[in-house]
A and B are shown apart, each in its own frame.
Chain A
Amino acid sequence: MSELQLKDLYEGFRNPEVIKGFAKLINEEAKQLKNPINIMEVCGGHTHSIMKFGLPQLMPENINFIHGPGCPVCIMPKERIDHAYILAEQEDTILVTLGDMIKVPGSRGSLQDARAKGADVRFVYSPLDTLKIAEENPDKKIIFFAIGFETTTPMSTALIDVVLKRDIKNIFFHINHVTVPEVMVELIDSRDEHVDSYNNRIDAFLGPSHVSVITGSKIYEKFPKEYNRPVVVAGFEPVDVMEAILMLVRQFNEGRCELEIEYKRLVTHDGNVKAQALIEKYFEKASLFKWRGLGNVPDSAYKLRAEFAEIDAELVYADILPREEIEDHKLCICGDILRGMAKPNECTIFGTACKPTSPLGSCMVSSEGACAAYYKYGNLI
């Protein structure tokens, strides 16, 4: 038997013939649609795939993508980036975070800027790499700035678990983990002063598969039932996305409104129960979390449970962390883009004042944001 190669894991899911086949089926099925449908891909990973593989060009006119808020870097509000910046500036401190978080600007600049001014800012690929940094720098305080959706949350709790079990004294946590279903509700059913979702145009959702590997598909059950929006949990390869769209179109044509799983190779109804238990052990829901571009969203984030106050950087450093709210840029229309009410190129500052190298709004910040994806890959239809 020949050895398993990496390409075996993705090649079939990028097969041009299969993609073309799905495109043909979608175009045929879509002819029967009574009304055009707007599908929100919630996750930034999906936005990235859709734009990278040019999938909108394969869609009929009556199927439209709305790019959702599922990019953990993009939605980080300036207030919390400022926290990271201030923590990084402290003496004998190393601020550790994940990948592209370090380029997102807060009101004082980005963590890259802090690093250019002399702060010790490092990024790790796995949160557990923080242990090595702490071990090599016993005289310094290491602050892990934890970010991400349900997918990355268990990795942070795994680090917390080790830190507490080994009684490591120099690692602290600033928790910014957010959750998907709550913000989906916000987009379709909110009447708050920042976000009025009354006119939202979202007809259906593509659910992010990696989130559901952890949480299970069960977190989306209420959307078909209570909000009349079908959900298909889909993988990130182009074939996955195409198949999921076909599944959604068929639901509309057959008059169904259901939760379905396209990414059956890893997603189950219940998800990774062990990871969920770890999250439950260390975290509880924060009552409000501010999302860049969307404002405060109830129950949409985690915080450390009170009994872990001594490792909670937000409490340990409470005296130096500012609490004032900072408004988003007034010309930025990220909030409308995220609710499907506008496209990135309809924004007056898109590509001019707001670019990936100098982002003003959340959607331009990371390559997964809708505006950044538009800017990077263009709209060559």
Chain B
Amino acid sequence: MKKQITLAMGNGGEENNELISKIFYKAFKNEILQKSEDAAVIHNGELAFSTDSFTVSPLFFPGGDIGKLAVCGTCNDLAMMGAAPKYLTCSVIIEEGFPTRDLEKIVHSMEQELAINGAIVVSGDTKVVPRGNVDKIFINTTGIGEIQKKGISSNNISLDDVILVSRDLGRHGATIFAAREGIELTTDLQSDCASLTVQVQALIEADVKITALRDATRGGVSAVLNEWAKQSNICIEVKEESIPVSQEVYGICEMLGFEAVNLANEGTFVLAIKKEDELKALEVLHKFENSSNAVKIAEVSEQYVGKVILLSSYGTKRFLDMPSGELLPRIC
């Protein structure tokens, strides 16, 4: 490990995994943690438990703000274990001088998003620190959800599964990048930031045979697929032409040298579903506006175990690896 923590170590990809395994897993090692799921499954498999801290610049972005993000993020992690979010904590660190109106706006967004999830905040903490000690505001939320369907796990994906995504990829990452300082881009693009509880509940109610779910946040869909391939000892074969990407996101990717599969999402999830339920799952998802373009993108094989491969429509293939490094635009 490097002597100093670098930004790349928070990228949701390779360096991030190294940081987690060499420092945190080493110290906190236990059976539940090492399952490495979106949320921990505790209390005889009845509860899901997850935490997430949020820092985003700009705080208000097209399609959401840090408040909405803070509730969606934790609730989505719970939903990915088949749980209905119930109780959240909310902890904020605020920089001296932060506008009260902005704080109200952020908390209002949280309130709205909690209602959508049917969850409540039951405990909280606030700290105000001197100017310069944090960047405007950091929010942590921790949540508990009641598991509605047991046995969802990214360690159980097999040849009987197909892989779907709930919508077009990369909107959040591309929106934040375009809004970032130093990048002068004009776009109508909006973040996909949204709660996924309702979709997951609908899938469970329709009795879709779900093997695994994961929201594709930092590191994007390629991080999810690579983690799944390793955790379940399978090869995932992605058909490149089936990956849904909007024109706007594609444009930003082409210009800056990114790939949409590596960009962060905040309201997009990947599903491993038993083959026979593919159409049923898609039918459920298509009823919701933000998963109306859900689609199958991959199948499971044993060709290169632990790897994800991308098949082109003209007969070539290549590995789709775990994103690494900090997201930086290519030079020319």
Contacts and interface: CB of A to CB of B under 8 A. Distances in A.
A and B are interacting partners: yes
Contacts of B328: 99-100, 102-103, 123
A365 to B, nearest CB: 11
B250 interface: yes
Interface in B290-332: 307, 309, 312-319, 321, 324-326, 328-332
Nearest to B319: A378
B324 to A, nearest CB: 5
Interface string B126-165: 0000000000000000000000000000000000000000
A54 B309 CA distance: 12
B228 to A, nearest CB: 18
Contact of B318 (A54, A100, A238): A54
A58 B319 contact: no
A255 B229 CA distance: 50
A125 B185 CA distance: 10
Contacts of B254: 6, 10
Interface residues of A, number: 53
A59 B22 CA distance: 43
Contacts of A152: 331-332
Which secondary structure dominates where chain B touches chain A?
loop
A72 interface: yes
Nearest to B255: A125
A368 to B, nearest CB: 7
Contacts of A102: 326, 328
B324 A51 contact: no
A337 interface: no
Which secondary structure dominates where chain A touches chain B?
helix
A113 interface: yes
Contacts of B247: 5-7
Contacts of A124: 182
B30 interface: no
B332 A151 contact: yes
Interface stretch (B5-13, B72-80, B97-105, B198-206): B5-13
B315 A20 contact: yes
A376 interface: yes
A133 B181 CA distance: 10
Contacts of A116: 4-7
Contact of A99 (B6, B15, B330): B330
Given A7-B247, A148-B332, A357-B15, A57 B317 contact: yes
A55 interface: yes
Contacts of A297: none
A117 interface: yes
Nearest to B332: A151
Contacts of B324: 356-357
With a 10 A CB-CB cut-off, give which of B251, B313, B330 has the most chain A CB atoms. B330
A7 B250 contact: yes
Contacts of A172: none
A19 B241 CA distance: 14
Interface in B166-193: 182-184
A376 B319 contact: yes
A149 interface: yes
Contact of B314 (A19, A52, A356): A19
B111 interface: no
A261 B196 CA distance: 51
A152 B329 CA distance: 14
A103 B319 contact: no
B332 A210 contact: yes
B261 to A, nearest CB: 12
27 contacts: A7-B247, A20-B314, A51-B318, A53-B316, A57-B315, A58-B315, A72-B331, A99-B257, A100-B325, A100-B330, A103-B326, A112-B7, A112-B8, A112-B326, A115-B6, A116-B5, A125-B329, A129-B182, A147-B331, A149-B332, A151-B332, A357-B14, A366-B330, A376-B321, A377-B321, A378-B321, A380-B309
Closest 6 CB pairs of A and B: A54-B316, A378-B319, A16-B313, A16-B314, A99-B329, A377-B318
Interface of B: 2, 4-8, 14-15, 182-184, 241, 247, 250-251, 254, 256-257, 307, 309, 312-319, 321, 324-326, 328-332
Interface of A: 5-7, 10, 16-17, 19-20, 23, 45, 51-55, 57-58, 72-73, 98-103, 112-113, 115-117, 122-126, 129, 133, 147-149, 151-152, 210, 238, 356-357, 366-368, 376-378, 380
Given A6-B250, A98-B331, A112-B7, 18 more contacts: A16-B241, A16-B313, A20-B315, A52-B318, A54-B312, A57-B315, A72-B332, A73-B331, A99-B328, A99-B329, A100-B330, A102-B328, A125-B329, A152-B332, A368-B330, A376-B321, A377-B318, A378-B318
